[in-house]
Amino acid sequence: MKLGVVGAAGRGSSFARCVKEVDFFELHAVCDISEEGLKKAVEDCGAKEGYLSYDEMLEKSGIEAVVVGTPMHLHAEMAIKGLKKNIHVFSEVTAAISMDQCHELVAAANESKAFYMMGENYTFMKPNMMVRGLVDKGLLGETYYAEGEYLHNCTYLLEKTPWRRKWQYGMNGVTYCTHSLGPTLQWFPDDRVVSVSCVGTGHHHFDKEGKPFEQEDSTMMMCRLRSGGLIRIRQDFLSDRPHAMTNYTLQGTDGCYESARASTEEPRVWLRSRNEEPKEWENLFDLGKEHTPEVWKDEELLQQVGHGGGDLLQLFHFRDAISGQGTCDLGIHQAMDLTLAGLISQESIKQDGAWLKVPDSRDW
């Protein structure tokens, strides 16, 4: 299938390495508004065609699927254009930056013959998939509490990617929750976030002009699930500290999980069925092949690609979904489940943490 990548000189470039590993796709065209970046992307990716205009790429290249890797505020608009032409869309996170965009995107996905998937790559990381497997086998019992944290001082990226000043730190609340909520929500089968409350820690960091960022340093979003469970999300783009983008916790009636919090640590799990007394942790990776997801059994290649293998596995998932070989658990409604919670948190924080309902796009 002929594939195009837009934003090919930025995040899109990391897909080029991965696309080569997925026989199904031929990386046919790339697009970027940066002339210099586009030239390099064409060479690096070995693409047949390069475009400075997205509309022109959609019009002329004959691509049947597109990866949208542009800045956040362009995702929905570009996805909608692709869907309207019945071109399959794989979009970077988050799916959209406003409620209006969400409605338009869902309508376009519902009307299109093509398929929409949001690339939430953290859900494919090995520990996250292993924990999901344990949950699905019932080994943690009923899950009722989880935490996900994305602590990533990204202020060093402000000059290179000025759009972040507005769309990630230029508004208060959780603007980028999918890497934390994506994996944790999958640990609550058939569940969704029904309401959120969001608060922050105040403003202790300033931009180059000495102005505080509109976003508070750490924002905390409590997510109430349909099942009654809770997920706590912490996002921090601003505090000075070592990065920690994959902090997770899960509690169930028969087990619990704590992710590694630093490169010197290992993820650990306690399962009643294996360690009733004494209650001792086990290294998650010591659970062995029986609990290792099939796709992770040969990890040499996965360890070479970005985001702990997630960047490649998500493309396999996209391929399987559009070729009818598998179901997709990051389709339009799951993309909305992960995106809408963050958007509503931005309203909640304005109302001092008021609990606000998160709409269900399946009802639209």
Ligand X SMILES: NC(=O)c1ccc[n+]([C@@H]2O[C@H](COP(=O)([O-])OP(=O)(O)OC[C@H]3O[C@@H](n4cnc5c(N)ncnc54)[C@H](O)[C@@H]3O)[C@@H](O)[C@H]2O)c1
Provide the binding-site residues for ligand X, judged by CB under 6 A. Answer: 6-7, 9-11, 31-34, 37, 54, 69-72, 74, 92-93, 121, 161, 307
DSSP state of 210: S
Give 161 or 249: the residue with its C-beta nearer to ligand X. Answer: 161
**Closer of 66 and 134 to ligand X (Cβ):** 66
Quote the distance between the C-alpha of residue 174 and its chain's center: 13
Q: What angle do CA 100, 122, 222 make, to 5 degrees?
A: 60
Residue nearest to ligand X (CB): 10
Do 106 and 83 contact (CB within 8 A), yes or no?
A: no
Nearest to ligand X of 34, 227 (CB atom): 34
Least distance CB 45 / ligand X (angstroms): 13
CB 315 within 8 A of CB 90: yes
Q: Shortest gap between Cβ of 179 and ligand X (angstroms)?
A: 7
Chain center to CA of 8: 19
CA nearest neighbour of 255 among 229, 219, 282: 282
Cβ nearer to ligand X, comparing 88 with 307: 307
Residue 286's CB is within 10 A of a number of other CB atoms, namely 10
**Shortest separation between residue 39's beta carbon and ligand X, angstroms:** 12
Q: Are 225 and 193 in contact (CB under 8 A)?
A: yes
Q: Where are the beta strands (DSSP E) in 37-186?
A: 49-51, 65-68, 88-91, 116-118, 143-151
Name the residue nearer to ligand X (CB basis): 161 or 292. Answer: 161
To 5 degrees, how large is the angle CA 354–CA 355–CA 360?
135
Cβ proximity to ligand X: between 7 and 342 the closer is 7
Shortest gap between Cβ of 272 and ligand X (angstroms)?
A: 34
Q: Torsion-angle region of residue 3: left (phi > 0), alpha (psi -120 to 50) or beta?
A: beta
Q: How far is the CB of 143 from ligand X (least distance, A)?
A: 25
Closer Cβ to ligand X, 172 or 314, answer by number: 314
Least distance from ligand X to the Cβ atom of residue 271, Å: 30
Please report how close the Cβ of residue 109 comes to ligand X at its closest, in angstroms. Answer: 18
Rounded alpha-carbon distances, angstroms, from residue 316 to 109, 140, 154: 20, 28, 29
